[in-house]
Amino acid sequence: MTLTIDPRDFCIPEGTTVDLKKWRTHVKRAYKSKKEYHTLLEEQVDELASLQRLHYASNRYAVLVIFQGMDAAGKDGAIRHVMSGVNPQGCQVFGFKQPSAEELEHDFLWRTTCRLPERGRIGVFNRSYYEEVLIVRVHPELLDAQGLPDESRRETLWKERYRSIVELESHLHRSGTRVIKVFLHQSKDEQRRRFIKRIDDPDKNWKLTVADVEERKLWKRYMQAYEACLSATSTAIAPWYVVPADDKKNARLIISNIILDVFKGLEMAYPKPGAKRRRELQLIRSGLEK
């Protein structure tokens, strides 16, 4: 079954000034039925699992997938479904919430840098260092706990953090890490519907807090922070993908296609044994056949 999704349709070109009102939160479905959705996703998951085995064996690159989005945008579900076929030995998932006391004693990139994937592996960040130019920008009082010198607490702070992030991602790219950045673009109305579902479903009550509802009041400020961030940090080597997230199933198909597209662009091959290794294998074979 052919999936007609072009990752370029969701990619922010470098130098673009982003206006999220012009980016849709819902697009035409890539599937016609629930059954077709499951078939398409299964095919994508199987292909990703195959490429991940090759990625692990070739041991040349690392792949980092970053998920950002408002509460209830579908980050957890996307990770769970899209990465469901990947060997856990070759994939690490990290979620970043409120920084610990130890993390606050370091620069804002330290806690995520410690969790970067090794060569041959996939790293998944559920939220990331981008929180430091998103939630912290919406709530600048959080800077008080970061112990920054007075001279760094100036209006250029955010531009300087964007610069640090772009430089980090350039360094990672040069070192063989490919960074895939996904912004799950959800409408405010859809978030409201999902919050209500969390209230109606006892098994999901734990997912909703009063603080989540309070943050909704700051929606406009969050969108402004996202627009500034996406504009400043989408580059040719590490672009942002704005994925319409009002339809969770469609979003997962788009995300899996984006990840597959990056993997297919890597130069990977299974290691070829040299003469010494081939002789060793034949000796092993001889011993096993006795």
pLDDT tens digits for 62-100? 999 999 999 999 999 999 999 999 998 899 999 999 999
**Architecture of the domain whose range is 7-289:** 3-Layer(aba) Sandwich (3.40)
* More confident: 152 or 123: 123
The encoded tokens of residue 213 equal 């509802």
pLDDT of residue 290: 79
**Backbone φ, ψ for residue 68 (5° rounding):** -130, 155
Task: Specify the 3-state DSSP secondary structure of 126.
Answer: strand
Distance (Å, whole) CA 126 – CA 112? 11
Average pLDDT, the chain: 95
Residue with structure tokens 């599937």?
31
For the chain, percent of residues with pLDDT exceeding 90: 89
Predicted pLDDT of residue 177: 98
Q: What are the structure tokens assigned to 270, written together?
A: 């299974």
150 contact partners, CB below 8 Å, separation of at least 6: none
Name the phi and psi angles at 5, rounded to 5. Answer: -130, 130
Q: How confident is the model at residue 241 (pLDDT cuts 50, 70, 90)?
A: very high
Task: List, for residues 30-71, the tens digit of each pLDDT value.
Answer: 999 999 999 999 999 999 999 999 999 999 999 999 999 999
What pLDDT does 147 receive?
A: 87
Token readout for 108 is 């804002």
Instruction: Quote the pLDDT of residue 2.
Output: 60
Q: Do residues 186 and 72 touch, judged by C-beta distance below 8 A?
A: yes
Locate the domains of the chain by residue range.
7-289
Token pair, residue 237, equals: 């080597």
User: Which band of pLDDT confidence, cut at 50, 70 and 90, is reported for residue 273?
Assistant: confident
Whether 253 shows a pLDDT value over 70: the answer reads yes
Q: What is the pTM of this model?
A: 0.94
Q: Which of 121 and 152 is assigned the larger pLDDT?
A: 121
- Rounded (5°) CA angle 179-50-82: 55
Are the C-beta atoms of 109 and 164 separated by less than 8 Å? Answer: yes
Q: Residue 175 above 80 pLDDT?
A: yes
What pLDDT is stored for residue 1 in this prediction?
57
Could you tell me if residue 153 is left (phi over 0), alpha (psi between -120 and 50 degrees) or otherwise beta?
beta
Q: Is the pLDDT of residue 152 over 80?
A: no
Q: Is the pLDDT of residue 122 over 90?
A: yes
Number of Cβ within 10 Å of residue 29's Cβ equals: 13
